A and B are shown apart, each in its own frame.
Chain A
Amino acid sequence: DIQMTQSPSSLSASVGDRVTITCRASQSINNYLNWYQQKPGKAPKLLIYGASGLQTGVPSRFSGYGSGTDFTLIISSLQPEDFATYYCQQSYNTPRTFGQGTKVEVK
């Protein structure tokens, strides 16, 4: 199985901050990497597909970069509704695997 490792596990930030979350795959996955946002008690929501493709309806302050084994999710200016947990997920092969999550908390 491909292991997905996110860092940091949590971070504290303020509204307006630029937030960067990283995800590393245990082997090359080209750019078959998705990012999800999950709020407490809710299902994950797709933000980014194919490492950098913005899902329809997702604000442009979210962006994704990377290829191979190293990927980044950036929130350019954190908004109050962005405090949540973020997960990466590889779609290179089965079993599909997820990172352990990065919780973005209020500073």
Chain B
Amino acid sequence: QVQLQQWGAGLLKPSDTLSLTCAVYGGSFSGYYWTWIRQSPGVGLEWIGEINNSGSSNYNPSLKSRVNISVDTSKKQFSLRLSSVTAADTAVYYCARRGKTFDSGGFIEFWWFDPWGQGILVTVSS
């Protein structure tokens, strides 16, 4: 059973860089995209971006200029860095696996997020 465990600093000052890491236990690291999602009361659930074991990444355009997601396949870990944080970046940050299931015909891929990490509350405050 795949489990994700995440860690990182929970209290930042404006203009700091947010840094979080997620480790994958009990399953394959290859063949999936590894994802960061955040949740705040004002915005709700927001997809930040993803990376696969080869280092191919995709980012939310709204955050792309400040986000970097990296991967360490030897440790089965992936990391999020978000620069120049403001109070608007205060949220619970989750890591998750983007998995897929084929339809009955075997041609259509359905992508989904499961499992998720436990979440980390990151607060940006002066």
Give A contacts to B, CB under 8 Å.
31-32, 34, 36, 42-46, 49-50, 53, 55, 87, 89, 91, 94-101
Contact = CB atoms under 8 A, between A and B. Distances in A.
A49 B110 contact: yes
Given A44-B113, A44-B116, A89-B113, A95 B60 contact: yes
12 contacts: A42-B119, A43-B117, A43-B119, A44-B116, A45-B114, A49-B101, A89-B45, A89-B113, A91-B112, A94-B47, A96-B47, A98-B47
Contacts of A49: 101, 110, 112
Nearest to B114: A46
Contact of B101 (A36, A53, A95, A97): A53
Given A43-B117, A46-B113, 10 more contacts: A31-B110, A32-B110, A34-B113, A43-B94, A43-B116, A43-B118, A91-B111, A95-B60, A95-B62, A98-B46
A34 B116 CA distance: 15
Contacts of B116: 43-45
Given A43-B94, A89-B45, A95-B47, A50 B61 contact: no
Q: Which of B45, B46, B58, B112 has the most CB atoms of chain A within a 10 A radius of its CB?
A: B112
B106 interface: no
Contacts of A98: 44-47
Contacts of A36: 113
Q: Which of B44, B58, B117 has the most CB atoms of chain A within a 10 A radius of its CB?
A: B44
A55 B118 CA distance: 20
Q: Provide the main secondary structure of the chain A interface.
A: loop
Contacts of B62: 95
Contact of B110 (A42, A50, A97): A50
Interface in B14-69: 44-47, 58, 60-62
Nearest to B95: A43
Interface in B67-126: 94, 96, 101, 103, 108, 110-119
A98 B47 CA distance: 8
A50 B47 contact: no
